[in-house]
Amino acid sequence: MHIVVVEDDAGAQTMLAKSLTQWQHTVIPAASGRQALEVIATAHIDMIITKRLLPDINGVELCQKVRALKMNHSIFILLVVAQESLLDQTVGSFSAADDLIVAPFNQDRLRFKTVIAERMSRLERELNQNFLAIKKNYFQTIYLLLQLLGTYDAKTAAHCRRVGNLALLMAKRHPGVPTDDYPVIEACGSLHDIGFIGLPQPVLNRRRTEISGEHLDLYRSHSLRGESILAQLDLLRPVSKLVRMHHEQYNGRGFPDGLAADQIPLAARIVSAASVYDDLVHLEKAALARVPEYLQQHRGYQLEPALVDLLLEINLNKLQEEERRDDCDVTISELTPGMVLAGDVLMKSGAFLMAADTRLDAGHIQKLKRYHELGNIIEKVYIRK
């Protein structure tokens, strides 16, 4: 293992390094907590041995700072404490460390602790390898199911791919979605219409408003069929429950269960909103400039108002990217008098605010800043190069 020994006493540092080197470990010395943090930032470290009292930050603080770092592997921390420290402190005071060793200690005791650390490090590597294998299988399964859907109906598969991408983008922009939910939301978006496999082509190739009778019953069954397909796979069982709900509506008039508002999990509400947006743009062929008008019709009815706002912001980004590919984007705070707007500045609702070709002065900039502070416009505008 690569072990950082944090010890400001040169004699004690040398003795520890000699023992650890004999046991085939690589030792990196550090005379202070801050020096240890610098080493950790630049090298792969498996273990830290630190005493509690250090010249700058103490050993407990060092443990806490290491735990706060965003790293792709864990570091086993052995905290060296005096017997009286154990009497003075609660166990919770040392909770950021993996283990304690009471000074003074002999070589056998230290070696026993390093063997434990080595075993923990090996087990973590094995767990990470297993996790990566599961993750690979997870995404391969989604890909294969999408390929299967594509052989049955290419348009539906393309719709699902786009919804998966958009749902993931919405999840990343939504403050209420934890990062652990991103893969599930993306998978649900990508597979939400998997239940169409096996249904007659007239059900697939017509708008819902054009379907009636038996075909309408079949159409309304596809979310349940999708749940049934995905529930057969342990990896996709959480996704299957969301797929069942992707046609529920915010006002409770959806199917299959008539759930409303917060009865519908946020992940399913996001996928539903992404699907509605994709249908507007690709099935209904709505121009991006007209999309806000259509989305507002779904606010509080089919879609949650907050998700409509999120889609309006994403749509505005797309509209600006489409119309001003040759112009540069500038944050509101970076605007200076004399800059010329490359296109109309629209509010998130789609309402007009400021015209293209406006040469900005201090008044214009102040107005834009005020609307941005109120949350009515996005952070960037496009400026002529």
Q: Which of 276, 273, 279, 285 is nearest to 310 (CA)?
A: 273
d(CA 385, CA 380): 15
State the pTM of this model.
0.66
325 pLDDT above the threshold of 70 = no
Residue partners of 225: CB distance under 8 A and separation at least 6: 194, 195, 196, 197, 198, 199
Domain definitions of the chain by residue range? 2-126, 153-321, 325-383
Beta carbons of 303 and 250 less than 8 angstroms apart:
yes
90 pLDDT above the threshold of 60 = no
49 pLDDT above the threshold of 80 = yes
Q: Which CATH architecture has domain 325-383?
A: Alpha-Beta Complex (3.90)
d(CA 8, CA 30): 7
Alpha-helical (H) ranges within the chain are 10-22, 33-42, 59-68, 83-88, 107-152, 154-173, 182-191, 201-205, 213-220, 222-230, 237-244, 266-278, 291-298, 305-323, 362-373
88 pLDDT above the threshold of 80 = no
**Range in 146-150, 168-172, 239-243 with the lowest mean pLDDT:** 146-150
Residue partners of 92: CB distance under 8 A and separation at least 6: none
Alpha carbon of 48 to those of 114, 266, 283, 322, 381: distances in Å? 10, 41, 58, 52, 49
Alpha carbon of 10 to those of 80, 117, 300, 320: distances in Å? 16, 24, 69, 62
- Written out in words, the top-level CATH class of the domain with range 153-321 is mainly alpha
| pLDDT confidence of residue 182 | 96
Percent of the chain with pLDDT over 90: 65
93 pLDDT above the threshold of 70 = no
Cβ neighbours of 144 (radius 10 Å): 10
Beta carbons of 168 and 162 less than 8 angstroms apart:
no
d(CA 364, CA 230): 54
At the topology level, CATH places domain 2-126 in Rossmann fold (3.40.50)
- What mean pLDDT comes out for the span 170-176? 97
Please report, as a single letter, which amino acid is at residue 132: L
Exposed/middle/buried for 27, CB within 10 Å: 0-12, 13-18, 19+? Answer: middle
Beta carbons of 263 and 173 less than 8 angstroms apart:
no
